[in-house]
Amino acid sequence: MLERRTSPETSHEELIDHLVRTTPLHRGEAARVVLDVLAYFDEPADGYVRRRHRELQSRGLANAEIFERIAGELKRRAVAPPELSLRQLRRIVYG
């Protein structure tokens, strides 16, 4: 996870204000939510692929299904990485 150098209050003031107005969250809670979401999307593609592979494998899915699912998920990320082939996904996981 990347360290944030600015506080969420200064760098994402409008978003935090919006969350406070539209949800039951208090300001500190909204700031933590913003940081959690940003940290989630800061995860590099290779880290995401490895983590999701472990999660899906632990649910008993076969690799063919896992890699197809991960390929689809990557396309829907907020900042999608370049499209990776199934072979490239396997190389990320297995080297």
Judgement on whether residues 67 and 28 belong to the same structural domain of the protein? no
Task: Tell me the whole-structure pTM to 2 decimals.
Answer: 0.62
- Of 90, 3, 5, the C-alpha closest to 49 is 90
- Rounded Cα distance between 35 and 20, Å, is 15
Which pLDDT value is given to residue 11? 77
Judgement on whether residues 86 and 49 belong to the same structural domain of the protein? yes
22 or 8: whose pLDDT is higher? 22
Judgement on whether residues 33 and 19 belong to the same structural domain of the protein? yes
Rg (CA), the chain: 17
Which pLDDT value is given to residue 7? 56
Mean pLDDT, residues 47-68 taken together: 96
Judgement on whether residues 57 and 78 belong to the same structural domain of the protein? yes
Q: Judge whether 2 lies within some domain.
A: no
